[in-house]
């Protein structure tokens, strides 16, 4: 046995969300079988990979030509097969009485990717103690920029249709969810006098931006009740304008704690200017969420406290929302500790799971899904909303370094097109403080 009863029930829920069918799963000594209540036929997976129930990135990976067996790959390419190097003569075989046998552990792959079991207990971390994309199996075998779970579930959907041709599979619509981590809402407004002077010197000597240096004191003095209109980081109304033009709803995630003074925000969420900003966001129909502080990712108590602080402020401002979500600061994440912390904070969803150093599909999917703790084998109420791309991952010199040119736009577009192909959600993170000039705004507007 490789699946627990709890993990089988979680997989059943995933399949129901994906296909709209109340399928049941049963594991025995011969493998794992999918059954449709009231039907005699079944879909059996006869190879269950132990690797998919371990934390590791050293397993092999082959490639399967789905089209050669009469299936339609959603991205028109052969599918990677993590944990399987040699391909069987026939991947999907008839087994009599309308049933079929699949010689690849599709559900094991789904479990391994979505729970991020690969990352549990890892020590090959970056300088922010994050599991980097470059350590992942997906990066090493060149499928990080492919929604591999969605691709394999697309194949499984075709198998389901062959076995139960009268079943109607759920159709999913492509969507876009822009979000904005509010690390620095104002370039000068919340800095100390010493900090403003230092920034002014930097504007003159490093950036040759004399205009910003001249207006810095004025912005500092006039950021008491609201953000100043001349503040270059005050792009919130412009961001909301762009979303509204495209029928979208932006989410703004606020820092509500300070566990590292050098990396957390220089504002307090209770500040009148931040309260004013929250009210304005809410009045325009956009979303307010949580951006837990730098050192909170291993401390559920801190995340609970910061979530309660945000909800209290919003309640005081008359801000009511049906759901509360957000994303970890610096994308810091520890499987499964951080996941459990979001559940303990009674948040609706988390949208942290994308890599800082490379864009793509950290969870192998661009569909939101119910969270599952692979260590305690508990299904959570929390939803996981994978992050596909962060702007600085693509454009910043410390990561891909594509700048604000056509190459950056092309990379965003490739990822967006992949999400569209599988009917998923293109989840885009773009900081309000990341617009140096018009070219940055031009690239952002093209992504919506």
Q: Interior CA angle at 366 toward 407 and 344, to 5°?
A: 125
Place of tokens 């876009």: 176
pLDDT bin (cut points 50, 70, 90) of residue 214 is confident
Same domain, 179 and 135: no
Give the whole-angstrom CA distance, residue 31 versus residue 105.
9
Same domain, 150 and 81: yes
Same domain, 262 and 400: yes
% of the chain surpassing 70 pLDDT? 99
Give the whole-angstrom CA distance, residue 137 versus residue 143.
9
Radius of gyration of the chain (CA): 24
Domains identified in the chain, total number = 2
Per-residue model confidence (pLDDT) at position 207: 67
Give the whole-angstrom CA distance, residue 344 versus residue 183.
24
Give the whole-angstrom CA distance, residue 51 versus residue 61.
12
User: Is the pTM for the entire model greater than 0.85?
Assistant: yes
Tens-digit pLDDT profile for residues 329-353: 999 999 999 999 999 999 999 999 9
Same domain, 240 and 345: yes
Same domain, 148 and 243: no
Within a domain: residue 199? no
Give the whole-angstrom CA distance, residue 175 versus residue 173.
6
Place of tokens 């059943």: 12
Domain boundary among 131, 163, 195: 163
Give the whole-angstrom CA distance, residue 132 versus residue 332.
10
Q: What is the mean pLDDT of residues 362-370?
A: 98
pLDDT bin (cut points 50, 70, 90) of residue 124 is very high
Same domain, 110 and 181: no
Alpha helices in 222-373 (DSSP H): 236-245, 272-283, 300-316, 337-344
Same domain, 44 and 109: yes
Per-residue model confidence (pLDDT) at position 196: 80
Per-residue model confidence (pLDDT) at position 195: 79
CATH of the domain at 418: 3.20.20.370
Q: What is the mean pLDDT of residues 163-178?
A: 97
Q: Interior CA angle at 101 toward 96 and 102, to 5°?
A: 160
Give the whole-angstrom CA distance, residue 228 versus residue 235.
10
**Coil vs helix vs strand at 372:** strand
Same domain, 348 and 410: yes
**Coil vs helix vs strand at 344:** helix
CA dihedral 76, 81, 87, 90 (to 10 degrees): -60
Q: What is the mean pLDDT of residues 59-87?
A: 96
Q: Which domain holds residue 91?
A: 5-163
Say if residue 1's pLDDT is above 90: no
């Amino acid at each position: 046995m490789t699946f627990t009863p709890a993990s089988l029930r979680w997989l059943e829920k995933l399949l129901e969300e994906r296909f709209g069918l109340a399928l049941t799963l049963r594991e025995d000594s011969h493998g794992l079988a999918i059954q449709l209540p009231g039907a005699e036929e079944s879909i059996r997976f006869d190879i269950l990979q132990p690797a998919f129930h371990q934390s590791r990135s050293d397993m092999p990976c082959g490639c399967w030509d789905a089209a050669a067996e009469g299936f339609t790959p959603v991205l028109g390419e052969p599918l990677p097969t993590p944990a399987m190097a040699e391909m069987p003569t026939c991947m999907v075989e008839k087994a009599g009485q309308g049933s079929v046998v699949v010689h690849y552990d599709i559900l094991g792959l789904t479990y391994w990717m979505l729970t991020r079991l690969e990352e549990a207990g890892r020590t090959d971390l970056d300088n922010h103690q994050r599991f980097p994309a470059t350590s992942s199996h997906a990066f090493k075998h060149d499928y990080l920029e492919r929604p591999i779970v969605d691709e394999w579930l697309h194949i499984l959907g075709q198998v389901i249709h062959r076995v139960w041709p009268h079943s109607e599979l759920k159709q999913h619509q492509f969507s876009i969810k822009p979000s904005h981590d509010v690390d620095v809402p104002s370039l000068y407004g919340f800095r100390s006098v010493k900090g403003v002077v230092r920034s002014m010197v930097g504007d003159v000597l490093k950036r040759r931006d004399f205009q910003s240096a001249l207006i810095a004191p004025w912005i500092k003095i006039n950021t008491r009740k609201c953000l100043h209109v001349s503040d270059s980081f005050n792009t919130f109304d412009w961001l909301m304008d762009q979303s509204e033009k495209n029928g979208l709803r932006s989410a703004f995630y606020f820092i509500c704690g300070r566990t590292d003074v050098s990396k957390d925000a220089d504002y307090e969420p209770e500040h009148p200017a931040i309260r004013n900003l929250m009210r304005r966001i809410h009045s325009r129909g956009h979303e307010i969420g949580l951006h837990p502080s730098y050192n909170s990712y291993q401390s559920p108590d801190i995340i609970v406290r910061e979530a309660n602080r945000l909800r209290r402020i919003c309640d005081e401002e008359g801000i009511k929302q049906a759901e509360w979500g957000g994303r970890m600061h610096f994308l810091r994440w520890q499987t499964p500790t951080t996941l459990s912390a979001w559940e303990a904070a009674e948040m609706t969803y988390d949208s942290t799971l994308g890599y800082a150093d490379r864009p793509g599909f950290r969870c192998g999917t661009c569909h939101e899904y119910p969270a599952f703790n692979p260590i305690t084998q508990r299904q959570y109420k929390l939803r996981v909303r994978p992050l596909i791309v962060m702007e600085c991952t693509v454009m910043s010199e410390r990561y891909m370094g594509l700048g604000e040119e056509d190459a950056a736009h092309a990379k965003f577009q490739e990822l967006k097109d992949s999400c569209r192909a599988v009917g998923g959600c293109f989840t885009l993170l773009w900081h309000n403080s990341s617009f140096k000039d018009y070219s940055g705004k031009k690239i952002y507007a093209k992504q919506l």
